[in-house]
Structure 1
Amino acid sequence: MSRHPGRRTLQDLATAAGLSLAATSYALRGLRGSPATIQRVRELADELGYTVDPIARALASGRTGWVGVSGSLRDLWQQDLSVLLTRALRREGRFATIADADADPELERRIVEQFAAQRVEGALVSPVDPTADYWRLLDPSVAVVSIGDALLGRPGSSSVLFDNEYGVRTAFAHLAELGHRRVGLLAPALPSTPGRPAQLLSSAIAETLGIELIAIAAPAATTDAVDVVASLLAARDRPTGVFCLSDSLAFAVYRAARDAGLRIPDDLSVVGYDDHQLAVLVEPGLTTMAWDEDAIVAAAVEQLDSPGGAPLFRPELVVRGSTGSPR
């Protein structure tokens, strides 16, 4: 069959396939129908030169198919999470518009305003400031799912929550069991935002374990954080271990330790908090708290259509070569 001139319609495709409009639409998006029917409809669409007109579909259905995805993409784990969210949405016939909040509340506000202007039908966000009022700028009809923290500034939004208390306690307990009593805490610097739950929990948990905590803030990007970590390691009373609230910051500790002539874990133990794919590639491998990313993504996307839940995910300690007993 040769391609026909002009824009082909869904009715043209349905007629060629011998199916109803609804059945053709579902098969084209892979949502319903046998594998053979889905393949046949897609092959016919290609032969006819049929392409979806997103504007026409939005006008006909009242749905745009677009979902806003927002996070601070200098963080390596959030980069990966955004990719996984995009793929999961694509499998459902949806499209993602990704925005980088860059750990900046004012930039996040502009992103929310842009999502509202684009009339996204949903938003999956890793918020910089979950307490901000600007989350209310999204229409109540827009399904918003917050990943990591509940949106206190938009009551009623769905959430995928992290059991940070368990994660922080497990990481500190691992260092304490190895004999570390002076530990650095490296947390992402978030200008003009409230303290993050994991960071707030750290001081109280460290105290119960007999750990003297030295907390410092650093830029989210690995390269930008190296100088901040270097000053921590240059102190005469430097810590024997460092717990980082992201693997991106842990990789900065690796670089700063190497520059200072310190060996990991002989001179310095390091614990991360994401189990990013690079954690097994650095030498030695990074001990870190691992999240079930696939389950987190599935729960977040599911709540776009079934809002109101708040599943809680607990990380798992993965011990590799970056931790050992202090000298």
Structure 2
Amino acid sequence: MSRRRTLQDLADAAGLSLAATSYALRGVRGSPATILRVRQLADELGYTVDPIARALASGRTGSVGVSGSLRDLWQQDLSVMLTQALRRHGRYAMIADADADPSQERTIVEQFVAQRVDGAVVSPVDPSAAYWRLLDPAVAVVAIGDALTSRPGTGSVLFDNRYGVHTALAHLASFGHRRVGLLAPALTSTPGRPAEVLAVEVAGRLGLDLVAVAAPAATAEAVAVAAALLSDPARPTAVFCLSDSLAFAAYRAARDVGVRIPDELSVIGYDDHQLAGLVDPGLTTMAWDEDAIVDAAVGQLVGLLRDEAPGAPTFRPVLVVRGSTASPR
């Protein structure tokens, strides 16, 4: 069996010092040509970083936990983008699926603690939960979407859900809808989620009769829940879905029960997933700037690892109107 290649082997092949080789490999110092050459040599030699050696030498593992509800299509894409951005900073993501379940999210936090991650970027299921305090204050943590109110020192990339929810519901109200369904993931078990709480508040101010229904995060599993809502004799004339995954479930449910979109049912989502423009009719939804969100989250994480103060930039969604919303019959 061939021996494991070391950093010294890579340095000898590159004709560089150990320090210069390490910096180039992580992309933190050196010319672009040197960084590219060192990484190509590493691939040719079959060199991989020994995480135990790195942790012993630096006190850090180089790993970052990434947690979200991965059956949600938008969060899947966001996790991939975070992984790519972290890699560019010499960090390696350990992706975990919270599955819109606070108890599963707690288990993930405990796993991050056991695995001694340097940091975590999370899309929290329950941002108010006490289990976030299990992460040591020395661990850099950034929450995307909602702030972790129970863990001081956490960075945040916040969503202006008040604006997003109001804009979506006001769009439906402007068409004359008065009875509106709300499909929200894990509504009853996540009391800390502002978007769901805000929807009830905003609907009251707009004079809407809001019928809130908890649905599984996965599109296929949410179809039955949406179908039950649409089969009710007093069914709503519009459905506001707090993710595009749930909106796609509403599309399938409408087809199954024989309700036409948008003639008999308006549907509005909350993500602008890449499939939103491909379904028929195109999905009206609230769009986020994912690239800017990822840059802000990873930038904050890197800053926290350098002992910089956390921030809390806020992103506001934009209404993208397509063919899924219209006046009720």
Place the TM-score, normalised by the shorter chain, in its bin: over 0.9
What is the aligned partner in structure 1 of residue 300 from structure 2?
303
**Is 1:284 matched up with 2:281?**
yes
What is the aligned partner in structure 2 of residue 193 from structure 1?
190
Q: In 2, Cα distance between the equivalents of 1:180 and 1:192?
A: 28
For residues 23-62 of structure 1, the aligned pairs below 5 Å read 23-62=20-59
Q: Which runs of 5+ in 2 are unaligned?
A: 305-309
**Is 1:321 matched up with 2:318?**
no
Aligned letter for 1:10?
L
Match of 2:169 among 156, 164, 172: 172
Aligned letter for 1:244?
C
CA displacement at 1:42 relative to structure 2: 2.7
Q: In 1, Cα distance between the equivalents of 2:121 and 2:177?
A: 38
CA displacement at 1:48 relative to structure 2: 4.0
Q: In 1, Cα distance between the equivalents of 2:44 and 2:264?
A: 64
What is the aligned partner in structure 1 of residue 260 from structure 2?
263
CA displacement at 1:54 relative to structure 2: 2.0
Match of 1:214 among 211, 214, 224: 211
For residues 7-156 of structure 1, the aligned pairs below 5 Å read 7-156=4-153
Q: In 2, Cα distance between the equivalents of 1:247 and 1:53?
A: 40
Q: In 2, Cα distance between the equivalents of 1:48 and 1:158?
A: 39
Aligned letter for 1:70?
S
Superposed CA RMSD:
1.7
Cα deviation digits, residues 222-276 of structure 1 (max 9, x gap): 1111111112111222111111111111111101110111111011110000111
Structure 1, 210-219 or 309-318: larger mean CA deviation: 210-219
Say how many residue pairs are matched: 324
**Contact 2:288 2:317 survives alignment (8 Å):** yes
Taking structure 1 as reference, are residues 198 and 191 closer, same or farther at Cα in structure 2, changes over 3 Å only? closer
Aligned letter for 1:88?
A
CA displacement at 1:47 relative to structure 2: 4.3
**Contact 1:168 1:202 survives alignment (8 Å):** yes
Cα deviation digits, residues 30-54 of structure 1 (max 9, x gap): 3322222223223333444433222
Structure 1, 83-92 or 182-191: larger mean CA deviation: 182-191
CA displacement at 1:195 relative to structure 2: 4.9
- Identity among equivalent positions (%) equals 78
Taking structure 1 as reference, are residues 189 and 56 closer, same or farther at Cα in structure 2, changes over 3 Å only? same
Aligned letter for 2:254?
A
SS in 1 for 2:275: helix
Q: In 1, Cα distance between the equivalents of 2:216 and 2:224?
A: 10
Q: In 1, Cα distance between the equivalents of 2:122 and 2:97?
A: 10
TM-score norm. by structure 2 comes to 0.93
Taking structure 1 as reference, are residues 211 and 46 closer, same or farther at Cα in structure 2, changes over 3 Å only? closer
Q: In 1, Cα distance between the equivalents of 2:233 and 2:290?
A: 39
Cα deviation digits, residues 183-211 of structure 1 (max 9, x gap): 11111124533152111111221222222
**Contact 1:271 1:322 survives alignment (8 Å):** yes
CA displacement at 1:15 relative to structure 2: 3.3
What is the aligned partner in structure 1 of residue 307 from structure 2?
none
Structure 1, 209-218 or 267-276: larger mean CA deviation: 209-218
Q: In 2, Cα distance between the equivalents of 1:246 and 1:57?
A: 39
Q: Which runs of 5+ in 1 are unaligned?
A: none
Q: In 1, Cα distance between the equivalents of 2:45 and 2:215?
A: 55
What is the aligned partner in structure 1 of residue 180 from structure 2?
183
Q: In 2, Cα distance between the equivalents of 1:326 and 1:112?
A: 45
**Contact 2:102 2:126 survives alignment (8 Å):** yes
Q: In 2, Cα distance between the equivalents of 1:45 and 1:110?
A: 35
Q: In 1, Cα distance between the equivalents of 2:229 and 2:6?
A: 64
Taking structure 1 as reference, are residues 18 and 210 closer, same or farther at Cα in structure 2, changes over 3 Å only? same
